[in-house]
Structure 1
Amino acid sequence: MRAQRLRTGLKGWGGVGAMAFACSLAVLFACLLPVLRSHGTGGETGAGGHGVTRGGQARAAQECAEPEKQTLAPSDADGPTIDEIQNRQGEKRKLIVGVDQNSYRWGYRDPNSGGDAELEGFDIDLAHRIAQDVLGDPDAVQFKAIPTNQREPAIENGRVDMVVRTMTINCARLEKVAFSAPYFRTGQQLLAPKSSAITGYDGTLAGKKICTAAGSTALSTLEQDREDGRLAADTDLGTTVPNQLDCLVRLQLGEVDAVVTDGALAASQAAQDPTVQLKGDAFTTEYYGVAMKKDADDLVRRVNHVLREWRADESGGWQDSYDAWLKPTMGDDAAKSEPPAPEYLRTS
């Protein structure tokens, strides 16, 4: 957590006594500073406020290295969490998965597909694959549409068994939920009108209004960069929305100048609206993972088992899903979106 700076004023002091007192204060400050940095102060531990959230993120970042590797080794064994899912009766015997229904080609309802316009997309394919492994039926899934800022709470309060929703693995989230190994690589990128003078994540954002989803890695990254001086101090980050697609609507209405989100999602939004385009390259590297309850070790291992098979499957696997859903918006080269070979550093 950020330590508050102690300030001492010695105005009006004179002579040797004042000098000695000043030196004593300096020594005392040097001794106390590590404690202050480690434990924080009363101003940072109070209820509510943005500083509490950012302080927690900073602490989590210090305690977590390579978050995409903080997961359990694969296993196809059952366990208490899987038993509970498998013991559901009748129509309730389904895997409950939190997804998006507004992310084009990830999790969305195609109005032109006819029938009931069922959910489809890259994330939806993965959810079906997990249901097949856990319950023996790819259609034994109950999808629940979860806003961006409700993904962790939906898992923590048991509304869903897991979230498969373009969810970036990071240290702050690992404080609340468990993640699978990565299943997709992306990075934060800028979306703006083609006619805009914005050229990318650079000085052209000075004085501009940027939209992000509440609770997203885009928002936390921009806030930190603005505080650290990597983003212009007058960049307006005040526009946040529950669902990321709402940012595209704000952009179309002229209420904001740009949107920052994962490049994979931004590419899909650019495909939906030919008047906008990606500006500049991705300025972070991030990985999507399947999120589950922190104590659902057997389910985490099972999902990692599914992911290993899905990536290796040359017929109906990861590559086929990429070709079917993402190739039209992200291009032929899937290699840049493939996550690295998984590592399983978490042991319990």
Structure 2
Amino acid sequence: MTKRARGLRNLRAALAPVAAGVCVMAAAAAVLVPVLGGDTPAPRPLPRGTSTAHADATAADCTPGNAAASLRPSPDDGPAVDRIKARGRLIVGVDQNTYRWGYRNPATGDLEGFDIDLVRAIAEDILGPDPKITFRAIPTNQRIPALQKRTVDLVVRTMTINCVRKRQVAFSTAYFQGGQQVLAPKNSSITAFDDSLKGKRVCTAAGSTGEARLAEERHGARVVTVPNQLDCLVRLQLGEADAVVTDNALAAAQAAQDPTVQLKGKPFTDEPYGVAVNRADADLVRRVNKVLEDYREGGSGSRWMAAYKKWLRADLPGITKAPEPQYSD
């Protein structure tokens, strides 16, 4: 193994310890299964009675102003919810490398974070107390294929809702509001998402909204793409990148892991995070939206606020409530 490869391996291990193979978490009756690009089964037939007609109409009407609109909540079962209940297990695509959101706690070996708490709430609503959950670790650029090929029921992985993605998958209402921002060393000459990036190596995850934004306007930067955002922090550490462009929520978590870097400038996009679902599973979208209604209920005393205070407030202070839901029908 080369010196560079050893350094990359050691840094990733220090930043986000990951247990190899399949890890059973007894307390949550959950299993973590890695998902790698190109290693997914053929799509299964859609259940009878499912349709993408409403999803097609929603995507066609999508504009930046209403991108976060979703189906109205309902507690009713349907083909997708019935399929999950018959299986007796919810299968969810998540991250295991993003501190505070979805990461493996090195002390306990368990997956933890804001997204993981939301997954558990959804699973409890559909399957009851102590639900069985299969967590599949999915790279950023495999989130949509995993849903389309039905290797997962949901993706809960700091996934931004936008019109391009709504032509491929369906989304719940927004459960968090972020924005793209620049992360760079504190002593860097980079000041924001502006011409101070000229000639710099800027890292972002493949398939992310950061990559899309840099494709539109790179300010003279040389763009470096990686499978996962944590790899950008590793490249920053190894001197192989000068800055990172990612959601500020993720960047704040990376800054919490490394006190030598900081957020630069201000957010330059709106990034509403949603739970992603196969476009044929309208009943599951409505069920998740019902869970989110309950999750937000109670304002400062809500489960949403409790999760925010536990996982995010230290790095993203000043948020007083969850995003208001928008509905399309």
For residue 201 of structure 1, report the CA deviation from its aligned partner: 1.1
Q: Which of 156, 164, 180 pairs up with 1:164? A: 156
In structure 2, distance between residues paired with 1:258 and 1:62: 35
Amino acid at match of 2:98: S
How far did residue 334 of structure 1 move? 1.6
Match of 1:72 in 2: 71
| Structure 2 counterpart of 1:35 | none
The answer to whether residue 103 in structure 2 is matched with residue 108 in structure 1 is: yes
Alignment partner of 2:239: what SS? coil
1:94-153 Cα deviation digits (max 9, x unpaired): 1101000000010001112x3xx1101000000000001011135421111000010000
Partner of 1:323: 309
Query: Counterparts in 2 of 1:1-348, with a 5 A limit?
Result: 64-65=62-63, 66-88=65-87, 93-112=88-107, 114=108, 117-226=109-218, 232=219, 234-237=220-223, 239-313=224-298, 317-331=303-317, 333-335=318-320, 338-339=322-323, 341-345=324-328, 347=329
Amino acid paired to 1:96: I
Q: In structure 2, how many angstroms separate the alpha carbons of the residues matched to 1:301 and 1:273?
A: 39
Identify unmatched segments of 5+ residues in structure 2: 1-57
Root mean square deviation, CA, Å: 1.7
Contact conserved, 2:99 with 2:253, CA < 8 A, in 1? Answer: yes
**Does the 8 Å CA contact 1:67/1:170 hold for their aligned counterparts?**
no
Is contact 1:191–1:277 with CA below 8 Å preserved after alignment? yes
Higher helix share: 1
Task: Kindly state the Cα deviation for residue 327 of structure 1 after the two structures are TM-superposed.
Answer: 1.2
Unaligned runs of 5+ in 1: 1-59, 227-231
Q: Distance in 1 between matches of 2:59 and 2:251?
A: 26
Deviation at 1:307, TM superposition (A): 0.3
- Residues 328/69 of structure 1: CA separation in 2 closer, same or farther (3 Å cut): closer
CA distance in structure 1 between the partners assigned to 2:178 and 2:281 by the alignment: 26
Match in the other structure for 1:32: none
User: Percent identity over the alignment?
Assistant: 56
Deviation at 1:61, TM superposition (A): 9.2
Query: CA offset at residue 316 of structure 1?
Result: 5.9
SS of the aligned residue for 1:328 comes to coil
Task: Name the one with the larger strand percent.
Answer: 2
Separation in 1, partners of 2:130, 2:255: 31
Larger Rg: 1
* Distance in 2 between residues matched to 1:163 and 1:272, nearest whole Å: 25
Pair 84,290 (structure 1): closer, same or farther in 2 beyond 3 Å: same
For this pair of structures, how many residues does the alignment match? 270
Does structure 2 conserve the Cα–Cα contact (< 8 Å) formed by 1:68 and 1:182?
A: no
**C-alpha offsets along residues 301-346 of structure 1, whole Å, 9 cap, x if unaligned?**
0000000110114656000000000112112x123x732x21211x
Aligned-pair distance for 1:70?
3.3
Instruction: Provide closer, same or farther for how the CA distance between residues 306 and 138 of structure 1 changes in structure 2, counting only shifts above 3 A.
Output: farther
C-alpha contact 1:181 1:304 (8 A) present in aligned 2: yes
Amino acid at match of 2:247: D
Give the Cα–Cα distance (whole angstroms) in 2 for the partners of residues 344 and 203 of structure 1. 38
Q: Distance in 1 between matches of 2:59 and 2:152?
A: 26
Q: Higher mean Cα deviation, 313-322 or 144-153? A: 313-322
User: 8 Å contact 2:198–2:221 — kept in the other structure?
Assistant: yes
Tell me, in whole angstroms, the C-alpha distance in 2 between the residues paired with 1:133 and 1:299. 12
Tell me, yes or no, if the aligned pair for 2:154 and 2:277 is still in contact at 8 Å: yes
Q: TM-score, normalised by structure 2?
A: 0.79
1:178-230 deviation line (CA, Å, top 9, x unaligned): 0000000000010001110111111211111100000000010111124xxxx
CA displacement 1:240-271 (0-9 Å, x = unmatched): 01111100000111111100000000000000
Structure 2: distance between partners of 1:304 and 1:61 = 18
